[in-house]
Amino acid sequence: MEAHLEEELATLQQGREHPLSDVQKQELLALARDLPRLWDDPHGSPEHKKRLLRIALKEIMATSEGDSIRLVLHWQGGDHTQLEFQKFRTGQHRYVTDSDLMEIVRTLARIESDARIAAILNRNQRRTAHGQIWTAKRICSLRSHHAIAVYCEGERQTRAKCPSVTRPSFWASRRPLSCG
């Protein structure tokens, strides 16, 4: 056992005595310049990215202060990077429906059925917070969660008599929605 350890120590010391050659240094620098392309490659697996980070990072220090989290990244070369971001509050998560989309649904809910609202949003390439297409059930769930009144058949005729509410034309509901 002791002989094996001495052998490994001798191997490590030989590595220190023979530093990288100029060609090896140039190859390493070329790889470093190519790192963004490697990182952004759509075929690159998360395992490769994790391995790259484990090679480049020496230590990560995390501290929680109030409603924020601060990370200090210690890189192998000796540099330090500090990142700070807000904590999610209880009940919050990253899958939140955009407020402008909520206003669109709130407006359309008074003049269209859930299935029609879903079709309009899908035609305008709007997706749920999870990136899925809209369905009538998802619109119903969204309305229910945000206390948006449901459209009732025949409601348009009674609203047409009310001068405070303007009713869009048939073609206006089919035009692409402006995303503000």
Lowest mean pLDDT among 11-20, 52-61, 136-145: 11-20
Is 38 or 78 the better-scoring residue by pLDDT?
A: 78
Neighbours of 124 (CB within 10 A): 15
pLDDT greater than 90 at residue 124: yes
For position 41, what pLDDT does the model report? 84
Encoded tokens for 97: 């429906």
Provide the residue type at 19 as one letter.
P
For position 38, what pLDDT does the model report? 79
**Can you give the pTM of this predicted structure?**
0.44
> Which strand ranges, in their side-by-side order, compose the sheet holding 68-75?
57-65, 68-75, 80-86
Q: Kindly state the average pLDDT of the residues 37-62.
A: 86
For position 88, what pLDDT does the model report? 77
Q: Kindly state the average pLDDT of the residues 34-53.
A: 84
87 within 8 A of 67, measured Cβ to Cβ: yes
Dihedral over Cα of 36, 38, 42, 46: its sign: negative
Lowest mean pLDDT among 43-52, 146-155, 157-166: 157-166
Give exposure, 154-165, as e/b (b: 16+ Cβ within 10 Å).
eeeeeeeeeeee
String of DSSP letters for 148-168: PPPP-TTHHHHHHT-TTS---
Is 170 or 126 the better-scoring residue by pLDDT?
A: 126
Is 152 or 162 the better-scoring residue by pLDDT?
A: 152
**Eight-state DSSP code of residue 133:** P
